[in-house]
Copies of this chain bind each other. A is one copy, B any other.
């Protein structure tokens, strides 16, 4: 991760981000917070504890005088994947941690919050202060990543129930009909890719480096549910010629015929399970929860392909320059290039790999990103579940090709004619 100091008041930001995690758990019972619907997902309680463990382990343990852990067993229970820290509770059994109870995890959060706040307000030399600021910032960005996972994990959990419970009581608003999809041309060329500027970024966005991008075209918006339904109607899930070999094995061995949260009722109407409960499929919304296999097959069927991550970043950067915003934020894209952020993470055809000259941090923090650079694919943009201000044009999200429980969609690309 980048080590530069943020400009804002860290203590206030700390407070705000940490409170938001608790707020995300508000609509849920303690029972909801303890369950784990699959090994890829984690219980809400575990997210709340693990993000706290991150601050305790990487800040308090290093910088607090007379440090004592809140509870010695938590070092193991809430370690996600840091071998450099030591033992870990088995990932697939996080749902069995009925103890500590939610109340204890809330107490854990309060205790660590008080100690971090004290540390931030304390007497530190400039170097310590800089290091603290860097680590707190990293911890908050880390917590924001888990905030998105809390939403996707709880959606997956609630979807297992025959009661199809709502996370949010208000219905999801119907989307307005999107403008027709247009092909926007980009000249490409020898370009700089990767994070620039003094703001925070993760280590995997660096170093900024040169890449040659051939001229290409990018779709002006995301593929919609309605468009994806045409792919289904055309037999897309049963046509081997559209799929990668591994995708075809994947789709047939699981006997899939639609996205994970879609189902047809007895009258043939398509319903989609959402955080607002089951609703009639909204044809105008971007299709989401697609695996890379499905995204790639759709693109193939549509006579196009997925963009590379360099193409995506090139387009986003150019659009940002044209509109004067370096980090396009919120649900809007830029003129002509819509839905770049805030709707769905967008699959690219790029395998998640180190940029030339990539350096991971020393010690256990070096495990944050680097060790996952194999058999994962990069997603760009951000989703409706991404916290405000978290993503940016150089941000590299990544998941294995079969992952479907994230808010993942498709923006088409093609070579310039």
Point out residues on A near B: beta carbons under 8 Å.
Answer: 29-35, 37, 45, 73, 76-77, 81, 83-84, 89, 93, 95-102, 157-158, 160-163, 165, 190, 209-212, 214, 240-241, 243-248, 292, 296, 305, 349-351, 353-354, 356-357, 367, 371-375, 401, 415
Q: Give the oligomeric copy count.
A: 4
Complex Cα–Cα for A306 and B161 (A): 42
Complex Cα–Cα for A374 and B300 (A): 15
Q: Which residues of B contact A350 (CB under 8 A)?
A: 353
- State whether B349 touches A161 (Cβ < 8 A): no
- State whether B102 touches A31 (Cβ < 8 A): yes
Given contacts A161-B99, A190-B190, contact A371 B244 (CB under 8 A): yes
Given contacts A37-B96, A162-B89, A210-B214, contact A246 B375 (CB under 8 A): yes
A54 to nearest B CB, angstroms?
17
Q: Which residues of B contact A209 (CB under 8 A)?
A: 214
A257 to nearest B CB, angstroms?
18
A74 to nearest B CB, angstroms?
9
A-B contact pairs, 29 of them (CB 8 A): A29-B98, A30-B31, A31-B31, A31-B33, A31-B98, A31-B99, A32-B98, A34-B34, A34-B98, A35-B35, A35-B95, A35-B98, A81-B245, A89-B162, A95-B95, A96-B160, A97-B160, A98-B158, A190-B212, A209-B214, A210-B212, A210-B214, A211-B212, A212-B212, A246-B375, A305-B354, A349-B353, A356-B415, A374-B401
| Other A-B pairs, 4, CB within 8 Å; known A29-B101, A210-B214, A349-B353 | A244-B373, A247-B374, A356-B415, A374-B401
- State whether A374 touches B244 (Cβ < 8 A): yes
Given contacts A29-B30, A31-B30, A357-B415, contact A374 B246 (CB under 8 A): yes
- State whether B373 touches A165 (Cβ < 8 A): no
Q: Which residues of B contact A247 (CB under 8 A)?
A: 374
Complex Cα–Cα for A77 and B97 (A): 23
Name which of A34, A349, A353 has the most chain B CB atoms within 10 A of its CB.
A34
Complex Cα–Cα for A247 and B371 (A): 9
Complex Cα–Cα for A93 and B160 (A): 9
Contact of A31 among B34, B190, B353 (CB under 8 A): B34
Complex Cα–Cα for A350 and B157 (A): 36
A410 to nearest B CB, angstroms?
16
Contact of A353 among B351, B367, B371, B374 (CB under 8 A): B351
